[in-house]
Every structure is written in C-alpha cells, then in structure tokens.
Amino acid sequence: MQTCHWCARRVSVPLPVRGVNVMKQLLLFIGLLLGSAAGGAGASVTPAHPPEFAGISQWINSPPLTLAGLRGKVVLIDFWAYSCINCLRAMPHVEHLYETYKDKGLVVIGVHSPEFDFEKDLANVKDAVTRLGITYPVATDNHLGTWNAWQNLYWPAEYLIDQNGNLIGHHYGEGDYLKMENAIRLLLGMNLLPENGSAGNSAAGAVVASPEMYIGSAKQKNLASPETGHNGTRHFSIPARLAMNRFALSGVWEISDKYAQLASAHGELQLHFKAGKLHMVASSEQPTPLEIVVDGKLQPTITVQTSRLYTLFDSDDYREHSLTLRIPQAGLQIYTFTFG
C-alpha cells in the first residue's frame, strides 16, 4: 500500500567526532535510522520545521495542542484513518510507544485524516478510539487541513519531532517498529534496544498477493462482472470463471464514486484472492447479517451495523481463496477489500 522510507541497511551508533556538535551527530544517526525529513536514507540531515496543526475540528483524549506549546518534548505525529487496515495493524506499535515513553518526555498525537465520508463522523471516530484502546491525543482532521499542510500522502505515516521543534525523520507504512522506537530513545537520552528487545516490534505480516480493491467507480479496477462499473443503478451478474484478484456482483447495485450499494432485496459478491486475511470496509443503516463462504466452507456470520472495517476471513493460509458473500437485504454499502 505504502512504500516505507526507512534506511534498509544496518547502522551502529556513531562515536563522538572531535569538533563536531554532539546534537548534529545525534541527528545524523537518527537520519540513518529513519528516512530523514529531507527524503530518505542518505539525504541531508538538516532538520526541517513542521507546520502547525490546521483545520482540526475536534480533539479526543486531550485539550487542543500546538507544536509550539510542545517545545521541550519529543513529538510523534501519526496520520491514520480508522477503516485503514494498515493503520489498524500499526496501532499497537503507536500505543506501545505512548505507554512506554509518555512519562519520559514523549508526546504522541494521532491525526485522524479520513478517506471516506463516514470517517468524518465524530461519534464514529470516538467509537473507534475506544474500541481500539487508543489513549493518546487524537486530532480529527476532517477537511485534511493538517494532512495538506504536511503534504502527507500515506496512511499510516509517522513524523518524529525533536525537543527543539525540528522535524527530523519519518516512516511511511507498517513495520520496522524498532527503528522508530530507538530514534525516540536517542532523543530521550536512553540506550538503544537490541533487535529483539521491544514488545512493540512485531512484524507487519506475511507478504500477500492481492492488492487493495476499491468497489466505487473512482478507483475501481478489479470488477469482473460483464456489466459496466460506472456510476448508476443496474443489474449485475457473475461470470462462470473469476480470475485472480477480481470480484463480481450479482443483483441490483447502485454504483457511486466511493462505494457500491445493494439496491435489490438480496445480492451476492464473489471474490478470488490470495491472502490469509480478508477485510471489508462497509456500512449499513440497518443491521445486515452477512453469510460468508470461503472455499466452500461457511464462516462465522458478521453483522454490518456501523461504518467501519470488518474482518471476513482470518487464517494463516496464504494460498488462493474464493469468497462468496451473500447479502439478505438492500442497503449494504461496500467500499473496499483489503488483505493481510
């Protein structure tokens, strides 16, 4: 989904060099640990000055904060969205950093920048914060004011700011959690952890062969039904054979830019994928139970009743799989499928 800008090679702590400022050496090492603010490994370690928060509509778990008011603290900014599976998988790492270092000088701020309209609903965001066990401050960036001010392009994206308010490193996507933790420890004057020394350093998961699939017309590339996937309401059918990384619809569906909504009394979706885990971002005004069949085997029923990400299939089997999703009533909106 996102390309991580970590330095891929191993590095060791540099020894003090005569005549070179110690802080400059520290920034140099952090620039090796992380993709520097100037853009990746090997880039200049001259720190940049990050913009202030802009257009934040609400703060959760905290009164309003400013970067200027956080001088003297190490600050980690995490851009996320609550229906983004990459963000959800990285969330335990972010919470681990906050719980471990909040009393040692670290401030973590999650900037919730929505991809879908339902993610702008404050009640939905608060529910996600509670459900995910997030205890650090969260800023709701509904109009992407802070996202645009930072020129951010990724979910999730982490930016590290030192005690002087300088942006000194970033990381895009999942994984390599120990590198960010050790960069924070350096800024806090703590010793580095060994490679297996952090409980928050879990792997991002196995590589999967299926890309994220958007169901709405704006980014739709994987529809296998013979009918057009352009905006509008029409009857869809499922072909006799479904190729890898393709989905097909059955029934009457209304297609819009962001999602497909079932318009008939019942419908079906089939999907051919290669991954161990399958997630769906969906919404429904009325509770909608889904019959989920993977490789001919009935899975536990899931009821869609809030706008969020749902896990349809969770296994350690990363071979090819076929999904049949049967929907018993109109109104279900499907946004995306993601894999893990």
The domain that contains 98 carries what CATH number?
A: 3.40.30.10
Q: Is residue 17 part of a domain?
A: no
Q: Does one domain contain both 300 and 256? A: yes
Residue type, 9: R
- Report the C-alpha gap between 299 and 322 in whole angstroms: 12
Q: Is residue 252 part of a domain?
A: yes
pTM: 0.82
As a whole number of Å, the end-to-end CA separation of the chain is 11
- Report the C-alpha gap between 300 and 308 in whole angstroms: 18
Matching residue, tokens 């090796």: 32
Q: Does one domain contain both 263 and 130? A: no
Q: Does one domain contain both 88 and 139? A: yes
Q: Does one domain contain both 86 and 170? A: yes
Q: Which residue has the higher pLDDT, 117 or 29?
A: 117
Q: For residue 42, what pLDDT is reported? A: 33
In eight-state DSSP terms, residue 124 is H
Q: Does one domain contain both 68 and 157? A: yes
Contacts 24+ apart (CB under 8 A), 295-300: 295/321, 295/322, 296/322
Mean pLDDT computed over 266-287: 97
Q: For residue 9, what pLDDT is reported? A: 23
Q: For residue 35, what pLDDT is reported? A: 54
Q: Which helix (H) or strand (E) holds 321?
A: strand 320-327
What domain count does the chain have?
2
Candidates 198, 330, 212, 194; CA nearest to 281 is 212
Q: Does one domain contain both 170 and 28? A: yes
Candidates 12, 4, 49, 5; CA nearest to 28 is 12
Q: How many CB atoms neighbour CB 337 within 10 A?
A: 27
Q: For residue 14, what pLDDT is reported? A: 34
Q: Does one domain contain both 240 and 288? A: yes
CA atoms within 13 A on the CB side of 140: 20
Q: Does one domain contain both 249 and 117? A: no
Q: Does one domain contain both 162 and 268? A: no
The CA-atom distances, in angstroms, between 180 and each of 36, 155, 169, 171 are 12, 16, 9, 8
Final residue in a domain of this structure, among 187, 204, 238: 187
Q: For residue 23, what pLDDT is reported? A: 55
Q: Is residue 102 part of a domain?
A: yes
In eight-state DSSP terms, residue 117 is G
Q: Which of 7-11, 164-168, 324-328 has the highest mean pLDDT?
A: 324-328
Q: Does one domain contain both 217 and 180? A: no
Mean pLDDT computed over 273-288: 97
Percent of the residues in the chain that have a pLDDT greater than 70, as a whole number: 83
Tokens of 132: 């995910």
The model's pLDDT over 205-259, given as tens digits with 9 standing for 90+, comes to: 456 689 999 999 999 999 999 999 999 999 999 999 999 999 999 999 999 999 9
Q: Does one domain contain both 118 and 266? A: no
Q: Is residue 244 part of a domain?
A: yes
Q: How many CB atoms neighbour CB 22 within 10 A?
A: 9
Burial level of 10, CB count in 10 A (0-12/13-18/19+)?
Answer: exposed
Residues in the chain, overall count: 340
Q: How many CB atoms neighbour CB 76 within 10 A?
A: 24
Predicted confidence (pLDDT) at residue 198 exceeds the cutoff of 70: no
Predicted confidence (pLDDT) at residue 155 exceeds the cutoff of 80: yes
Candidates 5, 21, 51; CA nearest to 165 is 51
Q: For position 217, which CATH number holds?
A: 2.60.120.260
Q: Does one domain contain both 56 and 135? A: yes
Mean pLDDT computed over 98-123: 98
Q: Is residue 11 part of a domain?
A: no
Predicted confidence (pLDDT) at residue 195 exceeds the cutoff of 90: no
- Report the C-alpha gap between 294 and 104 in whole angstroms: 47
- pLDDT bucket at 110, cuts 50 / 70 / 90: very high
Indicate the range of 15-19, 109-113, 136-140 predicted with least confidence: 15-19
Final residue in a domain of this structure, among 151, 172, 187: 187
Q: Is residue 2 part of a domain?
A: no
Please give the residue range of the domain that contains residue 32.
22-187
Q: Is residue 1 part of a domain?
A: no
Q: Is residue 243 part of a domain?
A: yes
